[in-house]
Each structure stands twice: as structure tokens, then as C-alpha cells.
Structure 1
Amino acid sequence: MYKPTINTSYKGVCRLYETCGRSDYCLRAAEDILFIHGFDIRKTPGYEDLTSDQKDLFAAHCVKYMNSVGMNTKITMYPKTVHFVREYQYCSFPEWDEEIQKNIRWQIGREWIILKANGRTKKFKKYLDDDRTEADIDKTVTKEFEYLRVDWRQNGTNVWFHVTAPDEYY
């Protein structure tokens, strides 16, 4: 099963970094994650559905992100899932706003579709604001984005990122 570092002792993990010649406590490659932290990012659910370029991006992101946090966080974290997704942001038709005296559009929902390396797709998640329906979506202004979605488990909570480059995620 996917779990954080097997050795959750701060000093124990620091020794593993030093054993690997990482006296700066920075990972260099996915192999470092496996040896030091004890989990194989290639076994992350969704990994098998990525293209080779997306797998490389995921590995580079994991190294970069894990290097961006402190050791106490590193020993609690692991990637829960990874998917290459297309996100749609749905907006309303223009509505007159009396306060600002102009038409505005509201974002009223989103949808994520998983794009697999074999060309297949899978619906991941969709939501619309509670008071909205499909008829409220102005399809002429739907925004579309593609990125690697990486879900992390760290410090007992879940966090996910849009990853567009190893050092570009939010």
C-alpha cells in the first residue's frame, strides 16, 4: 500500500540521506525517494495511465516538491494519486450587476476529465453551484486547461496541485 516514509524517525531519515551522499538533505532523483523514504512513486495510482513525458514530469515534481518542505513534513508525505487532466471551468451567461453597472459572468462550476496515455478518457469529477444547472452554462466562454494533477497526503491532510512543469505548480 502507499504510505509515507517507513522510517519516521527524523534522525533515521537524516542518516539515510547522509548514506546516499545527500549531506544537503536534498533528493536528486526518484530513486532517492525509494531508497530514503521507502515508497516507489511508480506505484502511485494513476501512474500507469501517464505518457512517458508525463511520468518524467511527475518524477521531477515529486523530487522538487519534497525538497521544498522540511524533514518533519517529508517523513509524513507521499503522492496519493496522479492524473493528467483536462479541466473545464464553466461560467454563467452575462448578468447585469447594478452595483458596478455592467454585465458580469460568474464561474458556476468545474469538470475534470482524466486523459490516459492510451487515448481513453475517464470522467473524474464535476460540480455546479447548488442553484445552477447545465442550462445556466454559457458554453461559448468555457475555459479549458490541461495539467498533471497530483494529490499528496502529508501531515494527515490531503493537498493537490496543478503541475505544469517540475517547478511550476499551485
Structure 2
Amino acid sequence: MRRKPTNRTSYKEVCALYEKFGRSDYRLRSAEDILNIHGFDIRETDGYEDLTQEQKELFESYCVTHMNSLGMNTKITMWPKSVHYVKEYDYYSAPEWDEDEQRNIRWEIGREWIILKANRRTKKFKKYMDEGKTMADVDAVSTQEKEYLRVDWKYQGRAEWFHVMAPDKYY
């Protein structure tokens, strides 16, 4: 089943649902609140089934926190399109002398995202390299990696994604 934005697109209708479910402060408290008030189950988000239990809990807490940080007109149009736990690699060149800076600089020349699934399998998500650069140009010593939950949202006719490290720590 596909998630979708609230089918109750009237501001007044959604406010009435918050009050009906005891949320007179208009703040969500759980995934069930999102389902009851906004009409979609975040547990049906693409990729949710590939998360560990801890990652699922992080995703649910983050969704509640993020939706509470937005105005009602945005909340009634949004839904999470996908969620993945990813490992991101930032690839840099070997140090090059920069005359302007008068020091050696490593330039970022590529980036790669790998989806890490709960069953320990991986899936290439996306990779790019600067034009004319290959993996042979990467300085392995300077490669940086980080892991986070990637959440893609659809709202108000556009898409946006966030790096999520904690329910209240995302960008």
C-alpha cells in the first residue's frame, strides 16, 4: 500500500482530528497519531522492512519530531516516501599544493551511498565521480565514511531528504 498525504486536506478537519484524539496542543506523540490523524502508516514506508528494530524506532521517533516541527499546512501534504540506513563514502584526491592557500588541499572528487539492510546485505544506492575522475584518483587514506538514516519526504509537490542521526538531530 502506498503512503499518501492526508486525505483530509482541510486545515479545520485535521485540527478537529488532533482534538478528537486528545492532542489539543496539536503535537503528535507516536506513529499511531500519524496514522489516526494524518491517515498514513509510516511503517509502510519503502525500505522500512529493511531496517533493524533500533533503526525502526529511530525512524518513528524522528517522523514524530520532524512533523511536530512544521506547520499544519505542511503536515497535511507530507509523507515519507522512503527510508534507508546508509553508509556514505566521501572520496578525496591526493593532496595538491594550492598557491592561493599556500598549503596542500585534498579536493572532494566523488561520493557513494550504500544501503545497509538489517539482514546484513548491501545495495548500491548512488555513486558519482567528478568528470574525468575515477576510483584510481582517490586517495584511500583520506576517504571519509559515515552512517545515518536517510529519509526522503514528499510534500507540497516537492521532494526533500534528510540525514537522521537521532530523533532531534537531523539535517
TM-score if structure 1 supplies the norm length? Answer: 0.98
Q: Return the offset for 1:155.
A: 1.3
1:16 alignment counterpart: 17
Distance 1:127 1:2 in 2: 30
How far did residue 96 of structure 1 move? 1.0
Say what the alpha-carbon RMSD is for the aligned residues: 0.7
Q: Shift of the alpha carbon at 1:154?
A: 1.3
Alignment-derived partner of residue 132 in structure 1 = 133
In 2, distance between residues paired with 1:130 and 1:7?
Answer: 47
Q: Which amino acid aligns with 1:100?
A: E
1:145 is the counterpart of 2:146 = yes
Aligned-partner Cα distance in 1 for 2:111–2:3: 29
Q: Aligned-pair distance for 1:118?
A: 0.5
1:29 aligned onto 2:30: yes
Partner of 2:170: 169
Specify the alignment match of 1:97 in structure 2: 98
CA deviation map 1:81-110 (0-9, x unaligned): 000000001111111111111110111111
2:72 maps to 1:71: yes
Count of residue correspondences? 170
Q: Percent identity?
A: 69
Distance in 2, matches of 1:164 and 1:99, equals 36
Q: Is 1:62 aligned with 2:63?
A: yes
Code of the aligned partner of 2:109: I
**Could you list the runs of 5+ residues in structure 1 that have no partner in the other structure?**
none
> In structure 2, what residue type is equivalent to 1:11?
K
Q: What's the CA shift for 1:125? A: 0.5
2: CA distance, partners of 1:11 / 1:129: 49
TM-score, length-scaled by structure 2: 0.97
Structure 1 moving runs of 4+ over 2 Å: none
Tell me which amino acid in the other structure corresponds to 2:118.
A
